[in-house]
Structure formats: C-alpha cells, structure tokens
Chain A
Amino acid sequence: AQSVTQLDSQVPVFEEAPVELRCNYSSSVSVYLFWYVQYPNQGLQLLLKYLSGSTLVKGINGFEAEFNKSQTSFHLRKPSVHISDTAEYFCAVTEAAGNKLTFGGGTRVLVKP
C-alpha cells in the first residue's frame, strides 16, 4: 500500500514570491505521482503528473515539480505566485498500473497582496 504526506497544511505567501509545497510518499512498488489543485468550491484539476522519464515535470499555470526517487519526494514549485493561485493543493500517488489514487492531506496556499 502507498501513502502520501504533505508536510505543510497551510502556506501563506506574498504575491510574486516563490512557493514550494512539499510532498513525500511511500510505496513498495513503482508509482505515478500527481499534483491536483482545488479552487474554492470547485472540483479537482490536474496540475501535472510524473509517469516516467525526466524527473522535472512542468504543468499548467507555471507550476513544476521534481521527482526525487531516493528521497521519495515530489515537491511542487512556482517561481512567482498570483492572487489567483490561492487554493488547496493535493499531492497524489498511484501504483504504476494501479487505478486507486491515494491523496495527501492537502496544503492550503493563501496568496497575500
């Protein structure tokens, strides 16, 4: 079974500052990794995913994440945030060839002007 830990439950950040959201996972098999965003009162939207290949993946809205197998991490970054990035961010994992997404507890990003 796999598990996901998001180390920060809340991250306040000023507009145009960089942000990093931390995610660590555990699994005994190969995994696929994802970051989803949930804007207030909306559903989940996929930001980016790592399936294989380059460990640095770029997603929508200027976000990127780096897969680090030795540290079992998949941290999400954005060099300059906007007010509109205020949302809940979820890291998720599934076993390669699996269909069950396991989510972390979420990180609430609050962008301040």
Chain B
Amino acid sequence: DTAVSQTPKYLVTQMGNDKSIKCEQNLGHDTMYWYKQDSKKFLKIMFSYNNKELIINETVPNRFSPKSPDKAHLNLHINSLELGDSAVYFCASSPGTSTFSSYNEQFFGPGTRLTVL
C-alpha cells in the first residue's frame, strides 16, 4: 500500500526516558512534517523537512529532535520525556513545498499515541 506509516502506533513510557517515533512515506514525496495533537484535540505543526532539509521549526523544546536520514523518512526523537509530552503525534508528507501557482496536499499518517507516566 502506498501511504504514510508510523511506528509504533502506541508508546507508553516513563518520565525521563528517551524515545523515538518513526515515519516513512512511499509516495515519493519531497516534504515531510510532524504535528502534535494534544489531549484537547488541538493540532499544531512542529517541524517540516524538504529533501532532508529543515524548513519549518516551530517553538518546540530542544528535547525534540527530528532526523531525516533520507527524504522518505522523518523520525522524531524525544529526550527526557515529560508528562506534557503525552499526545498523539502525526506525521505527514506532501509532494513538495507549495507556491503561489501550485499547492501540494499533505497526506497524514495514522498517528502515534504517546503516553508518559
């Protein structure tokens, strides 16, 4: 299936641990994103990479470090997990970056539910 996939689907861990969430897309897209959905369902962008280069970096704690080994993968590593990091993390991808003459639709993965105890 062509899609955006994330692993794991669920992640339960203790405060202070370091964890990673992986994202892969086989759509041939150049741009990938990480979004965070909090307990109130509020969705906000965290990062975006285009061809392995960081293009969007919102005000996210530096405990969060995205890594793009190639343009099909964008992994999210989180150090020293805190209770407030509990959320659903969505990965997305788009064919490229948008311009005034063309919009590139973002396709979302199924999400990773992170619970920090």
**A interface residues with partner B (beta carbon < 8 Å):** 32, 36, 42-46, 49, 51, 88, 90, 94, 96-103, 105-106, 108
Asked if residues B90 and A44 are in contact (CB atoms below 8 Å), the reply is: yes
Q: Does B115 contact A (CB under 8 A)?
A: no
Size category, B interface: 20 to 34
Give B23-46 as 1s and 0s: 1 = Cβ < 8 Å from A's Cβ atoms.
000000001010100001111110
96-117 of chain B: CB within 8 A of chain A: 97-100, 103-106, 108-111
CB distance from B48 to the nearest CB of A (A): 6
Complex formed: what's the CA distance from A49 to B109 in Å?
A: 19
A103 near B109 with CB under 8 A, answer no
B56 vs chain A, min Cβ distance (A): 6
- Does B12 lie at the interface of the complex (its beta carbon under 8 Å from any beta carbon of A)? no
| Chain B residue with Cβ nearest A44 | B108
Docked Cα-Cα span, A30 to B40, in Å, equals 29
Query: Considering the complex of A and B, which 10 residue pairs feature the smallest CB-CB distances, nearest first?
Result: A103-B43, A44-B108, A43-B110, A106-B41, A43-B108, A97-B100, A97-B99, A99-B97, A100-B45, A43-B111
